Amino acid sequence: MEEEQTPYKKDISKIRIRQILFSWSVSFVLIYAGYYLTEEGFLQLEWLTRSGCLIVLIGVWSSISGIIQERVLIDRLNIQHRIELSRAKIKLRKFNAPKEYIEKEIDSIKEKFEDKMDELTVNVRFQLGMLEVSLLMTGTFIWGFGDLFFKINM
């Protein structure tokens, strides 16, 4: 039986697709613009290395936005957890369930919440961490060695 996709899992996939596409699209535009401006000799400056610097800034921005997105998703998961706990308590009290059973049920809900929280944290950090590292590595490489490309060709 297929597991129902919870809202936090949908949010993780949206983050990955949107942020990766946006970040890399902007990065490629910056690389192209840097190459073009350097080829044209605009202001007699090296623009490709400057585009590498901007890509590094996109990587840093990705890191900061990842922290914010992780907090938002954790807050949503906390709200879902509280709602689930409240519903379970009301339902069990309505049926006059024994206290031991109520505690067991609440512990079960808390364990599921902790598992979801761990999964969420690992997934978000991995997905956004890969984007951040790849942008930082690419930007640093272009920033450091972009000027050599033109010196070798000339």
Task: Evaluate whether residue 19 is within a structural domain.
Answer: yes
Contacts of 105 (CB under 8 A, 6+ apart): 88, 92, 97
> Of the segments 64-68, 82-86, 127-131, 150-154, which one has the largest average pLDDT value?
82-86
Whole-number pLDDT of residue 34: 92
Task: Evaluate whether residue 118 is within a structural domain.
Answer: yes
Task: Evaluate whether residue 22 is within a structural domain.
Answer: yes
Contacts of 1 (CB under 8 A, 6+ apart): none
Task: Evaluate whether residue 127 is within a structural domain.
Answer: yes
Domain, as residue range, for 93: 7-153
Please state the domain count of the chain: 1
Task: Evaluate whether residue 110 is within a structural domain.
Answer: yes
Torsion of CA 105, 117, 115, 63, to 10 degrees: 180
Q: Could you tell me the end-to-end alpha-carbon distance of the chain, in angstroms, rounded to an integer? A: 63
State which amino acid sits at residue 105. Answer: E
pLDDT per position as a tens digit, 41-67 = 888 788 889 999 999 999 999 888 888
- Claim: this prediction has a pTM higher than 0.95: no
Task: Evaluate whether residue 2 is within a structural domain.
Answer: no
The SS3 assignment for 108 reads helix
